[in-house]
């Protein structure tokens, strides 16, 4: 016989939830995302023993190990992996119900963390620092740099936003912050005034970022067009290139935004690269755990303005 639900069932979802300690859900999400008792404890402000105790309670409640030892680290069980997205969504909905006070840039004292390569930080850093100081005078701006971001760089250490080149993969959604391009740079007196960019690339010794030589789009293009060139210097950091080109008299290919930022420091002759190249955009990736919409809107606008002030327009 089909039972008619009279609305008084003692097996309703709410009745079952009443017997669950919902305070366990926040440390549970931290454990599933960090995959470490130590990091999860630091993230939510618990001691390590308290977090271990919470993990034990959640294992008993859900009837699953959730985190298991795998080599030097921890991995999620299949059941735990299924919980990450719905648990994050549930806690975001709960946060909206509670309606915590929104971000107020005039009074907020948080640390704002933006991660990027050194060259992107060099291009945007000055304008970004100035805009944050003006708009959020009580906040602290922290710039973090990496060579190539690891997956953990998008979520760990309190990072709010990651800036990376469009060709670098990211595990989370991205949006374009600004478009950059390759330019040819040389010392002002290294070649005749009427020398073209192709002349500079053919005739002058190149200063090259060693790790990126063969995979760099400009050098792939030069090889494809069978343009002869000679490498005069190899450097471990592409930020050194303008400082070496200017006094030595060689040539290099670099980001227009970096050269624009360094234009007052070094006298350089700048020309457009002679062949079409793939895009060189810089993308913005938000920390997927960041749920403060008012802060995201504010910081997004600040980053867009910093790019507008810092990146030279294409000719």
**pLDDT, tens digit (0-9, with 9 covering 90-100), for 126-162:** 999 999 999 999 999 999 998 888 877 887 767 899 9
pLDDT in tens, 88-115: 878 777 766 665 567 899 999 889 999 9
Could you tell me whether strands 205-209 and 111-116 are parallel, antiparallel, or unpaired per DSSP bridges?
Answer: unpaired
Average per-residue pLDDT in the chain? 85
Which overall architecture, per CATH, does domain 20-98 show?
Orthogonal Bundle (1.10)
Q: What is the pLDDT of residues 234-248, one digit of tens each?
A: 988 888 898 889 888
Look up the pTM and report it.
Answer: 0.68
pLDDT for 40: 86
How many CB atoms lie under 10 A from the CB of residue 272?
A: 13
Sheet holding 175-180, edge to edge: 140-145, 111-116, 161-165, 280-286, 175-180
Q: Rounded to whole angstroms, how far apart are CA atoms 166 and 279?
A: 8
Q: How far apart are CA 179 and CA 242, in angstroms?
A: 21
**CA distances for 141 relative to 109, 124, 176, angstroms:** 10, 13, 22
In the chain, where does the domain assigned CATH 1.10.10.10 lie?
20-98
Overall fold of domain 111-180+280-310? D-Maltodextrin-Binding Protein; domain 2 (3.40.190)
Give the pLDDT score at 209: 86
- 3-class DSSP assignment, residue 68: strand
Please state, in angstroms and as integers, the Cα–Cα distance from residue 244 to each residue in 152, 207, 247, following that order. Answer: 34, 7, 6
pLDDT band at 8 (very low <50, low <70, confident <90, very high): very low
Q: If you classify domain 182-272 with CATH, what class do you get?
A: alpha beta
- Cβ–Cβ under 8 Å, residues 31 and 66: yes
**Tens of pLDDT along 288-298?**
878 788 899 99
The answer to whether 161 and 295 have CB atoms below 8 angstroms apart is no
From 272, 212, 215, select the one nearest 239 (Cα to Cα).
212
**Residue 1 pLDDT level (bands cut at 50, 70, 90):** very low
CA atoms within 13 Å, Cβ hemisphere of 255: 24
pLDDT at residue 16 tops 70 = no
- Every domain of the chain with CATH number 3.40.190.10 lies at 111-180+280-310, 182-272
- Measured from the Cβ of residue 32, the count of other Cβ atoms closer than 10 Å reads 19
């Amino acid at each position: 016989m089909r039972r008619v639900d009279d609305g008084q069932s003692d097996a309703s979802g709410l009745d079952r939830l009443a017997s669950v300690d919902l305070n366990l859900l926040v440390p549970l999400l931290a454990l599933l995302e960090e995959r470490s008792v130590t990091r999860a404890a630091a993230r939510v402000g618990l001691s390590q023993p308290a977090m271990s105790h919470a993990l034990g309670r959640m294992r008993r409640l859900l009837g699953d190990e959730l985190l298991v030892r795998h080599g030097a680290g921890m991995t999620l069980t299949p059941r735990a992996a299924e919980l990450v997205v719905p648990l994050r969504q549930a806690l975001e909905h709960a946060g909206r119900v509670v309606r915590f006070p929104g971000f107020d840039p005039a009074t907020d004292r948080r640390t704002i963390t933006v991660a990027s390569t050194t060259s992107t930080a060099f291009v945007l850093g000055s304008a970004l620092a100035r805009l944050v100081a003006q708009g959020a005078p009580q906040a602290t701006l922290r710039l973090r740099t990496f060579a190539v971001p690891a997956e953990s760089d998008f979520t760990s250490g309190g990072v709010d936003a990651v800036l990376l080149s469009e060709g670098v993969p990211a595990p989370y959604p991205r949006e374009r912050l600004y478009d950059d391009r390759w330019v040819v740079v040389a010392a002002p007196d290294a070649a005749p005034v009427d020398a073209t960019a192709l002349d500079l690339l053919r005739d002058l010794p190149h200063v090259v970022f060693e790790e990126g030589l063969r995979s760099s789009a400009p050098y792939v293009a030069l090889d494809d067009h069978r343009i002869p060139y000679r490498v005069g210097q190899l450097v471990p950091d592409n930020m050194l290139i303008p400082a070496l080109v200017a006094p030595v008299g060689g040539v290099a290919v670099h980001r227009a935004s970096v050269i624009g930022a360094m234009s007052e420091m070094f006298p350089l002759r700048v020309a457009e690269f002679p062949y079409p190249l793939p895009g060189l955009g810089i993308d913005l990736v938000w920390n997927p755990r960041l749920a403060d919409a008012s802060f995201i809107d504010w910081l997004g606008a600040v980053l867009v303005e910093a790019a507008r002030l810092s990146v030279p327009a294409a000719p």
